[in-house]
Amino acid sequence: MVTRAWIRWLLLHGLTRSYLLWSARRGDPLAQIVFGQDRLLGASPFIEEIRERGRLPKLSGAHVTADYALCRHILRDNRFGVVTPNHVVIPKPIRWVLAKTDRELPNLAEPPSMLVTDPPEHTRYRRLVGQAFSPRAVAALEQRAVEVTDGLLERLESKPQPDLIEDFAAQVPVAIIAEILGFPADMHSTMLKWGFNSAPLVDRALSWTTYRHATDELAEVKQYFDQRIDMLTAEPGDDLLTVLVTSDELTRREQIANAALLLDAGFLTTVNLLGNGIALLTSHPDQLGLLLAQPELWPGAIEEILRYDCPVRMTARMANCDVDIADQHIKRGSLVLLSLAGANYDPGVFPDPERFDVTRANAADHLAFSSGVHGCLGYRLARMEGVIALRTLFERYPDLRLDGPPIPRRLKNLHAYRSMPAKLTADPGSQAERTGR
């Protein structure tokens, strides 16, 4: 089993990792980005170097862009598709080995995950689950999000130095997605463990240790969903997982893969949004002051947080045919890397992009939720949870201060914090108002 996993890692990550490490040492800006040598990818000197080389330069064997218009266009252009281990341009011997070493784990970054399948399969998966994230469905969850947030903040009062990631930012979205999927409350900590430990798989060029740890976690996820699906087949519920289980359109593998995707995607992005938002607002007290004085600015502030500190830094597409674009000829099978964070700092779209401004008029034009057919399914839910959680937190604790620098997660593509110790000071007036509501 270990040998099969190692071979799979070598083909999917190891060879690319060796090449990119060599390229990074030679000063290649794309390779340096992949290995996390910049924190805020949108404003990094590496991204600026890529901009200087043109709209779509070729680096480390791939075309790359941080141009907003080009990123948005490619995301919406059906001549480009998602990148998968089974892609047709991969040599047949390698595809054969990958098929033989496939443990059918519910990996977010491998088919049949909705994240890495194109139409018509993607359309079929998305149609089944889309209603759970419709405007009406999300509006129906608002009161529950308020209740969850209030309950968490009440418990924070008993902790003199809470961790705002572990005790708050992670708990709000996991509680909501658990209810959508029909998971009991005592599963929240397990869900968080699964999501955080498997999150590195969305990165490229993983180390063997990281890859093995993440895939071992997925084996546990697969076993749980196998048992859960058997239970729901016998006794269906009224939750989203039951929708997947009772559909005759999906195979067992498709059910498990997309259930796991909904679990992870249902909270990971929002955890990062909340954590990044807390870090930004505590370090920009003038902007926080505006929000406390004008609460109607909160929806726009969430958009600016997403633009300024994009939770997902980069995505990739592969040309399905020969394409001429941005004065470049892209051959069929060529890889194109799209810096979403870099696009969100495009000065031609967002003037003075390095300024964090909660009143920015066009902040919602960001690409943090991607675009096109693969645009984030749960974007409405994430925005709603972001507004409620951050507004309630800072209205209750307007003098909140971080107790030292927040500790980031060691991820390349997801910008997230692992820990954020804080000191709380409640606002008596706000507390009295909330108690009386």
Note the pLDDT tens digit of each residue in 383-426: 999 999 999 999 999 999 999 999 999 888 888 899 999 998 76
Which 3-state string (H, E, C) describes the chain?
A: CHHHHHHHHHHHHHHHHHHHHHHHHCCCHHHHHHCCCCCCHHHCHHHHHHHHCCCCCEECCEEEECCHHHHHHHHHCCCEECCCCCCCCCCHHHHHHHHHCCCCCCCCCCCCCHHHCCCCHHHHHHHHHHHHHCHHHHHHCHHHHHHHHHHHHHHHCCCCCCECHHHHHCHHHHHHHHHHHCCCHHHHHHHHHHHHHHHHHHCCCCCHHHHHHHHHHHHHHHHHHHHHHHHHHHCCCCCHHHHHHHCCCCCHHHHHHHHHHHHHHCCHHHHHHHHHHHHHHHHCHHHHHHHHHCHHHHHHHHHHHHHHCCCECEEEEEECCCEEECCEEECCCCEEEEEHHHHCCCCCCCCCCCCCCCCCCCHHHCCCCCCHHHCCCCHHHHHHHHHHHHHHHHHHCCCCEECCCCEECCCCCECCEEECEEECCCCHHHHHHHHCC
Q: State percent of the chain over pLDDT 90.
A: 80
Per-residue pLDDT band for 437 (boundaries 50, 70, 90) equals very low
Total of domains in the chain = 1
Q: pLDDT at residue 126 above 50? A: yes
Q: What's the pTM?
A: 0.94
Q: Residue 32 is part of a domain; what is its CATH number?
A: 1.10.630.10
* Upstream peptide bond of 112 is cis (omega within 30 degrees of 0): yes
pLDDT for res 225: 96
Average pLDDT along the chain: 92
Per the structure block, which two tokens stand in for 191? 């869900």
- Check: CB of residue 98 under 8 Å from CB of residue 350: no
Over residues 263-272, the mean pLDDT reads 92
Q: What is the mean pLDDT of residues 95-117?
A: 93
Q: How far is CA 77 from the centre of its chain?
A: 22
What pLDDT sits at residue 426? 63
Q: Two tokens at 122?
A: 């993607």
Judge whether residue 41 has pLDDT over 80.
no
More confident residue, 41 or 244: 244
Kindly tell me if the per-residue pLDDT of 427 is higher than 80: no
Pick from 39-43, 203-207, 260-264: least confident: 39-43
pLDDT score for 46? 80
The per-residue pLDDT for 345 is 95
Cα separation of 323 and 327, whole Å?
Answer: 10
Mean pLDDT of 185-193: 96
The boundaries of the domain holding residue 124 are: 2-435
Q: Tell me: the pLDDT tens digits for 285-299?
A: 999 999 999 999 999
Contact 364, 303 (CB under 8 A): yes
Kindly tell me if the per-residue pLDDT of 434 is higher than 50. Answer: no
Is residue 40 predicted with pLDDT exceeding 50? no
- Residue 204's pLDDT is what? 86
